Chains A and B, each alone.
Chain A
Amino acid sequence: MLSIKNLHASIEGTPILRGINLEVKAGEVHAIMGPNGSGKSTLASVLAGREEYEVTEGEVTFKGKDLLDLAPEDRAREGVFLAFQYPVEIPGVSSTNFLRTAVNQVREYRGLEALDAVKFLSLMKEKMKLVEIDQKLLSRALNEGFSGGEKKRNEIFQMAMLEPSLSILDETDSGLDIDALRIVSNGVNQLKSADNATIVVTHYQRLLDYIVPDYVHVLYKGRIVKSGTKELALELEEKGYDWIKEEVDSAATV
Chain B
Amino acid sequence: MSKDNQILEEFTSKEYEHGWSVNYEVDEAPIGLNEEIIKWISAKKEEPTWLLEWRLKAFRTWQEMQEPEWANVTYPKVDFQKLRYYSAPKQQKKAKSLEEVDPELLAIYERLGISMNEQKRLQGIAVDAVLDSVSVATTFKGTLAKLGIIFCSFSEAVKEHPELIKKYLGSVVPMTDNYYAALNSAVFSDGSFCYIPKGVRCPMELSTYFRINAANTGQFERTLIVAEDDAYVSYLEGCTAPQRDENQLHAAVVEIYAATNAEVKYSTVQNWFPGDKEGKGGIYNFVTKRGICAGDNSKISWTQVETGSAVTWKYPSCILKGDNSIGEFYSVAVTNNYQQADTGTKMIHIGKNTKSRIVSKGISAGKSQNSYRGQVQVMKRATNARNFSQCDSLLMGDRCGAHTFPYIDINNPTAKVEHEATTSKIGEDQIFYCNQRGIATEDAVALIVNGYAKEVLNQLPMEFAVEAQKLLALTLEGSVG
Contacts and interface: CB of A to CB of B under 8 A. Distances in A.
Interface of A: 48-52, 71-73, 75-77, 81-82, 84, 87-93, 97-99, 101-103, 105-106, 109, 141-142, 158, 162
A90 B436 contact: no
A115 B61 CA distance: 62
Contacts of B437: 76, 98-99, 102, 106, 158, 162
Given A90-B430, A102-B438, 7 more contacts: A49-B435, A49-B436, A72-B436, A73-B436, A92-B450, A92-B452, A99-B437
25 contacts: A48-B432, A50-B432, A51-B432, A52-B428, A71-B435, A72-B436, A73-B434, A82-B436, A88-B433, A90-B430, A90-B451, A92-B450, A93-B447, A93-B448, A93-B454, A98-B447, A101-B439, A102-B434, A102-B439, A103-B438, A105-B443, A106-B437, A106-B438, A109-B438, A142-B451
A92 B433 contact: no
B455 A73 contact: no
Contacts of A162: 437-438
B433 A91 contact: no
A92 B439 contact: no
Contacts of B433: 84, 87-88, 90
Contacts, number: 81
B38 to A, nearest CB: 48
Contacts of A106: 437-438
Interface residues of B, number: 24
A92 B453 contact: yes
Interface string B364-375: 000000000000
B331 to A, nearest CB: 15
A105 B454 contact: no
A76 B439 CA distance: 9
Main secondary structure of the interface of B (DSSP, over half): helix
Contacts of A93: 447-448, 450-451, 454
B124 interface: no
A99 B447 CA distance: 11
Contact of A72 (B432, B448, B455): B432
B3 interface: yes
Nearest to A76: B438
Contacts of B163: none
B454 to A, nearest CB: 4
